[in-house]
C-alpha cells in the first residue's frame, strides 16, 4: 500500500485522490488552523464593517423608536419576523445532518457535519436577535421567561409565541451540547498536537479526554441518545415556529399545512446555506480529499428533493385556499398573486421551484459554480417565502379599513444585512479556532489500519 504511506496531496477537482490515512486527517485538519492570510483578514474587515453598520442602525432604532423600522399597523411583523424565520430555517440543516443522518448511518455526513453544526448554532444565535430587535424595548425580554415575580404574572402557555421561546431555547441548548460533545475528542487531538498557551487552553476544553475504552463506551451511547433526542426536536422546532402563524386566524396563515411545509422549507434553505459555506471552505483549505464531489452531489440531491416537495406544498396551498370556499382566504390569495407584492411571489416561485430543477442533471450537482448559484437563489427564494407569508397576508386581512402595505426603511434593511454579517463573522472566527472538519468521524469512515489485509473487510 504505497499510496497509504505517501499520503494524499489535496488535488483540485478531487476526482482521483487516494484515501487519506489517520495521520493525514490530523495533519490536514490542523492545517486549517494555521495563522490566516490576508484574504481572510480582508473578509473579516468587510464583514466587520457591515456588522458595525447593522449595530449603528439598531442603536438608531432604539433611540428613535420602532417607526424607524417602518412599523405601521397592520404591518407589525414585517421584515424582522421574516428574517427571524429565515435564520431559524437555516439552523435546521446542521442538526438534520448530525442527528437524522447519523441515525440513518449516512456516511457522507461525516466530513460536513461539523461545519453544518456550527452553522446551525450561529444561525440560531442570529435568529435569536430578531425577537429582541423586533420587541423594541429589548431590555424587557426577560418577561418571556417563566420566573416568579411580585405581580404573580406568568407567561400564557397557551400562546404559540411562548411555545416558540421554549422550542428555540431548547433547540439552541441541545444543538450546542451536541456540538460541544462532538468537539471533545477532536480538541484532545488538537491539545496533543499543540504547544504553549494553546495547549493549556485546549487541555482545559478537552476535559482530559484520552480515548480510553471507558470514555468511548459512554460517549458512543450518549451520542446515539443525543441524536435520538435531537431528531424529533428538529422537526418540532420549525413546526412550533409555523404555529406562530397557523394558530392565528389571519387568512393565508390559518392552515394545518404549515408545520410540514415549514420543516421542508427549513431543510431546503439549510442545505443551500451549507453549500454556500462548504464550497469556499473546501477551496481555501484544500479539503478536496475529504469533501468530495459525492458529498456535494448528495447535498444537491437533498436540495432537489426538498425543493420538489416544497413545490408540491405551494400547489397544495393554492388549491386549499381555492377549495376552502372561504371568501377571505380566496381574496387574500388573489391579492397575493396580483397585488402590490406579486413580484415577491414570482421571485419565490422562480428561486424555489424552477432554479433547483437544474440539479436533475449530474454535471450540475458536481459543478461548484452551478451549485453556488442555485444555493444563493434558494436562499433568496426562501427569504421571500417568509416575506410572502407575513407581509401580504397582514396587508390584506379581513377588514378593508385595516389594510395597509409595508415599505422597508434604511434602518430595518441595514439591520437585516447586518445580521448576515453577524452570522458570517461568527463562522469565520470558528473555522480558525476549532477544527471545522471532524477528525474522529472522518477517521471512522476511513479503513482502519490493518497489518494483515486478509482479516480486514468485515468492517
Q: Which residues bind other proteins (CB under 8 A)?
A: 21-23, 26, 146, 152-158, 162-163, 166-167, 169-170, 173-174, 177-178, 181, 185, 188-189, 191-193, 207-222, 225-226, 229-230, 232-233, 236, 240, 440, 443-444, 448-452, 455-456, 459
Q: Cβ closer to other proteins: 107 or 283? A: 107
Burial of 444 (0-12, 13-18, 19+ CB in 10 A): exposed
The distance of closest approach from Cβ of residue 161 to other proteins in the complex, given in angstroms and rounded to an integer, is: 12
In the complex, the smallest distance separating the C-beta of residue 454 from other proteins, rounded to whole angstroms, is 9
3-state secondary structure of 6: helix
Which CB sits closer to other proteins, 198 or 217?
Answer: 217
Q: Which is nearer to other proteins, 194 or 320 (CB)?
A: 194
Query: Coil, strand, or helix at residue 40?
Result: helix
User: From the CB of 222, what's the least distance to other proteins, in Å?
Assistant: 4
Taking a C-beta distance cutoff of 8 angstroms, is the pair 127, 91 a contact? yes
CA atoms within 13 A on the CB side of 250: 20
Q: What are the contacts of 291-294 at 24+ separation with CB within 8 A? A: 291/14, 291/111, 291/112, 291/437, 292/14, 292/17, 292/111, 293/14, 293/15, 293/366, 294/108
**In this complex, which beta carbon is closest to other proteins, that of residue 74 or of residue 185?**
185
Work out the widest C-alpha separation in the chain, in whole angstroms: 82
CB of 226 to other proteins, least distance (A): 6
- What is the rounded CA–CA span in Å between residue 300 and residue 305? 9
Residue 22 or residue 350: which is nearer to other proteins going by CB? 22
CA dihedral 163, 164, 165, 166 (to 10 degrees): 50
Distance CA 440, CA 133 (A): 39
Q: Rounded distance, CA 404 to CA 397, Å?
A: 9
Angle between helices 258-285 and 213-246 (to 10 degrees): 130
Residue number, 170 or 367, with CB nearest to other proteins: 170
Query: Can you spell out the DSSP letters for 84-153?
Result: HHHHHHHTHHHHIIIIIHHHTT-GGGTTTHHHHHHHHHHHHHHHHHHHHHHHS-GGGGGGGS----TT--
CA nearest 11: which of 32, 23, 28, 30?
Answer: 28
Q: Quick one: 65 or 444, whose CB is closer to other proteins?
A: 444
Q: How far is the CB of 345 from other proteins (least distance, A)?
A: 31
User: Smallest gap, in angstroms, from Cβ of residue 227 to other proteins?
Assistant: 10
Give CA–CA dist 272/379, Å, rounded: 7
Between 58 and 209, whose beta carbon lies closer to other proteins? 209
Shortest distance (Å) from residue 452 CB to other proteins: 6
Task: State the minimum distance, in angstroms, from the CB of residue 253 to other proteins.
Answer: 18
Within a 10 A sphere around the Cβ of 453, how many other Cβ atoms?
Answer: 9
Q: How far is the CB of 80 from other proteins (least distance, A)?
A: 23
Q: Which is nearer to other proteins, 131 or 185 (CB)?
A: 185
Amino acid at each position: 500500500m504505497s499510496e497509504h504511506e505517501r499520503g494524499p496531496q489535496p488535488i483540485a477537482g478531487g476526482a482521483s485522490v487516494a484515501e487519506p490515512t489517520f495521520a493525514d486527517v490530523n495533519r490536514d485538519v490542523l492545517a486549517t488552523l494555521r495563522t490566516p492570510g490576508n484574504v481572510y483578514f480582508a473578509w473579516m474587515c468587510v464583514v466587520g464593517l457591515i456588522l458595525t453598520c447593522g449595530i449603528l442602525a439598531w442603536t438608531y432604532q432604539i433611540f428613535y423608536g420602532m417607526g424607524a423600522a417602518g412599523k405601521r399597523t397592520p404591518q407589525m411583523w414585517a421584515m424582522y419576523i421574516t428574517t427571524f424565520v429565515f435564520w431559524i430555517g437555516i439552523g435546521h440543516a446542521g442538526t438534520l445532518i448530525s442527528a437524522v443522518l447519523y441515525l440513518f448511518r449516512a456516511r457522507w455526513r461525516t466530513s460536513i457535519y461539523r461545519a453544518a453544526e456550527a452553522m446551525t448554532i450561529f444561525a440560531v444565535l442570529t435568529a435569536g436577535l430578531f425577537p429582541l430587535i423586533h420587541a423594541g424595548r429589548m431590555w424587557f425580554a426577560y418577561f418571556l421567561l417563566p420566573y416568579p415575580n411580585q405581580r404573580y404574572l406568568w407567561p400564557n402557555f397557551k400562546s404559540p409565541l411562548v411555545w416558540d421561546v421554549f422550542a428555540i431555547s431548547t433547540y439552541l441548548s441541545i444543538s450546542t451540547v451536541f456540538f460541544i460533545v462532538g468537539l471533545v475528542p477532536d480538541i484532545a487531538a488538537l491539545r496533543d498536537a499543540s504547544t504553549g498557551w494553546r495547549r493549556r487552553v485546549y487541555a482545559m476544553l478537552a476535559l482530559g479526554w484520552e480515548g480510553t475504552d471507558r470514555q468511548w463506551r459512554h460517549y458512543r451511547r450518549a451520542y446515539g441518545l443525543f441524536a435520538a433526542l435531537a431528531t424529533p426536536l428538529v422537526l418540532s422546532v420549525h413546526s412550533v415556529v409555523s404555529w406562530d402563524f397557523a394558530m392565528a386566524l389571519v387568512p393565508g396563515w390559518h392552515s394545518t399545512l404549515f408545520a410540514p411545509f415549514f420543516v421542508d422549507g427549513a431543510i431546503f434553505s439549510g442545505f443551500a446555506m451549507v453549500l454556500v459555506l462548504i464550497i469556499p471552505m473546501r477551496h481555501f483549505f484544500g479539503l478536496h480529499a475529504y469533501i468530495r464531489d459525492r458529498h456535494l452531489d448528495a447535498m444537491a440531491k437533498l436540495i432537489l428533493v426538498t425543493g420538489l416537495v416544497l413545490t408540491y406544498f405551494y400547489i397544495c396551498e393554492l388549491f386549499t385556499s381555492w377549495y376552502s370556499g372561504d371568501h377571505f382566504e380566496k381574496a387574500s390569495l388573489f391579492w397575493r398573486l396580483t397585488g402590490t407584492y406579486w413580484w415577491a411571489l414570482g421571485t419565490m416561485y422562480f428561486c424555489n421551484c424552477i432554479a433547483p430543477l437544474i440539479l436533475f442533471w449530474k454535471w450540475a450537482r458536481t459543478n461548484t459554480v452551478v451549485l453556488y448559484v442555485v444555493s444563493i437563489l434558494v436562499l433568496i427564494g426562501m427569504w421571500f417565502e417568509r416575506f410572502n407569508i407575513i407581509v401580504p397576508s397582514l396587508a390584506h386581512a379581513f377588514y378593508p379599513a385595516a389594510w395597509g402595505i409595508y415599505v422597508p426603511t434604511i434602518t430595518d434593511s441595514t439591520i437585516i444585512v447586518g445580521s448576515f454579517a453577524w452570522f458570517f463573522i461568527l463562522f469565520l472566527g470558528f473555522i480558525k479556532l476549532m477544527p471545522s472538519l471532524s477528525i474522529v468521524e472522518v477517521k471512522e469512515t476511513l479503513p482502519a489500519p490493518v497489518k494483515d489485509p486478509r482479516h480486514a473487510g468485515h468492517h
